[in-house]
Structure 1
């Protein structure tokens, strides 16, 4: 018995250096224990996977809202970004967003510095993670951001136009905004923890512009049926909520302190869900599953720019306030008869705007002490901080609106039309754009309902 125990202890002792050797093989050759944290790297890699999962989650969320004859096309517009955006980001997108742009550094980086994800530092400046891990994590944001835009355009946009528009948009709109906020550019003094301006305002405003250019669906609003599958909407919401822990929590970029954005993310989503349900209950006498799902997403959008800068209590308030404002925005859209199909601007544009401004109201001085905005708060006061947030919002609106308009008009002038023709729209975009359908009748014949 004693020999057996000694043998087991010996094996365990031998295993320790073996495991250390295996782990070391995954680190860059010039990495050392002093400049890399295995825990931080694990957080970033896990968060990267969580954020990637949000894109299929968004596909389910959007797909459930549409008519059955358009569900595959709707989901494909999100899913294709996992290919297109990844390639664009890996070639020059990341370099544009996160390298030094020299004389143009206020607005954009150098496209060649990290082209094809080469020449990345063994550990990213100011962090304890490899440069490649940082680039991978940021790339997941570049995937879901253009995918968000598609919600305003479903059931009439040309898939060909979508595949031409999005890579250009990533390079001309998303990458410059990411650089200005997170890459050392013009908006580096403003608070945006995980993408209120960079992700949600840019996608929401771009969606609004494109929806206006493309026009309403031909049979909207009277001919449009209710969501074809609310269960898909709820599944998508669950996946988005789950993935958002990586979206916001991973943006801490370190295990130390990550418990705060994880928590504020969760409580804000919960508050958004309950707020929307209460509003519906008071107004209509009942709460809908679709409303609760939308409220949860609104809460998640609202907390994104604030997640690591506010207390959990403030996170609840941000979630509830943002949800209420998004609800009012949806009602206004209906009254104005504007066909933002799945309320992309109403939730992401308005929600991102509300979140960015509320971040200025609720940010705690001790939580932003190491951020340039902390000095603004200390020396100039709360109103100066809020004013800075408002200016960042206006700049994001301008870049997204002008950039989107120019890209769309140029593409159209080159013969790439915005939308499908009327017969294709009536038959359904699953058939016209992809030659397949999501559902078949029991008899085996295609259903185009």
Structure 2
């Protein structure tokens, strides 16, 4: 086995742990009565998407001869029957990307959606949105061909600024609009119940993100640049977020710092192999500051994105992808290019965001018509965990307290 294959195999394990890390991150951000529900959304996405990826998702994400520009054929290689086992490391690497992308969306609907509705949405969304968009970006589809068609540099998206973060962020906005607001939606009404869980989750995300960004690196120099930028951009983003809080006379906190790190990680995802470390730091500061402002807009615009998937992933994903059009090595507008790269980066952003939002909106309405989508007002008010799942995140502590009473 070659060294690059070993590293991709190891990176797959790093990315796999990101989805449980996301479960901890999201679980800490919600109220105590819906922790189990929120964490189960991430875990169930691993089950649903992992199975679909092996059955037909991988086949759809690779556009072969005669398949057209939209997506590959789900029947050509059903169940990986026609896949050379030599390709299986790449299949596994793609699977863990599909899992984390789908799980990201769930943060927008915390506290008010049942598991059955989420499972149905996640399966339909992966099939109709993620698999085709992955084909567009990495599988020979129209985004990967855009530069050839327009006579410009090719679109740059190392690890999913479009396919992962803009895709999930646009879907989260559509789903949140269909689900509707929580009963007591207002600034300050929903405080995170566990800062330690948020911190552990953010740490696991950052840990896994190194494999996320560098898993397909073919040489040490490229891998080293990706590593440095994947460390530097989120570090700078933490400072950018905290600086905005300070300017707004807000007390600094771990939630803001962790969110800043995630914003920087999202922004550097498409760009880690194509920016100098100094420009990656600048991107991190911009992303942290921009996302610190962006998460407040849900209250002004009136949509309830519970855990700020739109404010973090959509906003930072757009920033990182478009930023390359200005500063990417050789082809950025300010680094020797003529604007061609900026053009195709913007087209890719608009194309993915528009398709993901529209398709996700339709899927959400279909699920709503099928399952009702949202739990009853009584269950939402009383807590989804006990009513729907029969589990509570901290039931052991309650039992211990009961046993200690005389």
The answer to whether the 8 Å contact 2:186/2:299 transfers is no
Secondary structure of the 1:80 match is: helix
Q: Pick 1 or 2: higher relative contact order, CA cutoff 8 A, min separation 6.
A: 2
Which of the residues 143, 160, 165 maps onto 1:187? 143
CA distance in 2: counterparts of 1:446 and 1:243, whole angstroms:
37
Q: What TM-score do the two structures reach when normalised by structure 1? A: 0.83
1:45 is displaced (CA, Å) by 0.6
CA distance in 2: counterparts of 1:348 and 1:309, whole angstroms:
20
Structure 1, unmatched stretches of 5+, are 1-36, 123-129, 366-373
Superposition pairs for residues 342-357 of structure 1, below 5 Å?
Answer: 342-357=307-322
Superposition pairs for residues 154-173 of structure 1, below 5 Å?
Answer: 154-173=110-129
* Number of residue pairs matched by the alignment: 392
The answer to whether the 8 Å contact 1:192/1:306 transfers is yes
Matched, 1:312 2:277: yes
Which of the residues 220, 227, 233 maps onto 1:268? 233
Q: Hey, what does 1:408 align to over in structure 2?
A: 364
Rate the CA distance shift 1:254–1:96 in 2: closer, same or farther, 3 A.
Answer: farther
1:442 is displaced (CA, Å) by 4.8
CA distance in 2: counterparts of 1:78 and 1:211, whole angstroms:
17
Q: Hey, what does 1:280 align to over in structure 2?
A: 245
Structure 2, unmatched stretches of 5+, are 145-153
Q: Deviations over 1:70-90 (max 9, x none)?
A: 001101100111211100101
Rate the CA distance shift 1:382–1:75 in 2: closer, same or farther, 3 A.
Answer: farther
The answer to whether the 8 Å contact 2:63/2:141 transfers is no
Q: Hey, what does 2:7 align to over in structure 1?
A: 43
1:445 is displaced (CA, Å) by 8.9
Q: Deviations over 1:173-221 (max 9, x none)?
A: 0011110110011000311110000000010000001101110001222
Q: Hey, what does 1:133 align to over in structure 2?
A: 89
The answer to whether the 8 Å contact 1:439/1:446 transfers is no
CA distance in 1: counterparts of 2:20 and 2:401, whole angstroms:
25
CA distance in 2: counterparts of 1:227 and 1:315, whole angstroms:
30
Secondary structure of the 2:295 match is: helix
Matched, 1:148 2:104: yes
Q: Hey, what does 1:74 align to over in structure 2?
A: 38
Rate the CA distance shift 1:177–1:222 in 2: closer, same or farther, 3 A.
Answer: closer
CA distance in 1: counterparts of 2:249 and 2:395, whole angstroms:
36
Q: Hey, what does 1:115 align to over in structure 2?
A: 78
State the Cα RMSD in Å. Answer: 2.1
CA distance in 2: counterparts of 1:149 and 1:143, whole angstroms:
11
CA distance in 2: counterparts of 1:412 and 1:259, whole angstroms:
46
The answer to whether the 8 Å contact 2:102/2:122 transfers is yes
CA distance in 2: counterparts of 1:117 and 1:196, whole angstroms:
27
1:262 is displaced (CA, Å) by 1.4
Secondary structure of the 1:410 match is: helix
Which of the residues 419, 422, 431 maps onto 2:374? 419
Rate the CA distance shift 1:72–1:393 in 2: closer, same or farther, 3 A.
Answer: same
Secondary structure of the 2:198 match is: helix
Q: Hey, what does 1:34 align to over in structure 2?
A: none
CA distance in 1: counterparts of 2:317 and 2:301, whole angstroms:
21
The answer to whether the 8 Å contact 2:67/2:73 transfers is no
Q: Hey, what does 1:360 align to over in structure 2?
A: 325
Q: Hey, what does 1:330 align to over in structure 2?
A: 295
The answer to whether the 8 Å contact 2:187/2:299 transfers is no
Structure of higher CA gyration radius = 1
The answer to whether the 8 Å contact 1:92/1:116 transfers is yes
Secondary structure of the 2:143 match is: coil
Rate the CA distance shift 1:175–1:446 in 2: closer, same or farther, 3 A.
Answer: farther
The answer to whether the 8 Å contact 1:158/1:417 transfers is no
The answer to whether the 8 Å contact 1:117/1:132 transfers is no
The answer to whether the 8 Å contact 2:169/2:314 transfers is yes
The answer to whether the 8 Å contact 1:101/1:108 transfers is no
Q: Hey, what does 1:84 align to over in structure 2?
A: 48
Rate the CA distance shift 1:388–1:87 in 2: closer, same or farther, 3 A.
Answer: same
Q: Hey, what does 1:178 align to over in structure 2?
A: 134
Rate the CA distance shift 1:146–1:285 in 2: closer, same or farther, 3 A.
Answer: closer
Matched, 1:428 2:383: yes
1:103 is displaced (CA, Å) by 4.7
Superposition pairs for residues 19-38 of structure 1, below 5 Å?
Answer: 38=2
CA distance in 1: counterparts of 2:130 and 2:190, whole angstroms:
34
Rate the CA distance shift 1:222–1:396 in 2: closer, same or farther, 3 A.
Answer: closer
Secondary structure of the 1:258 match is: helix
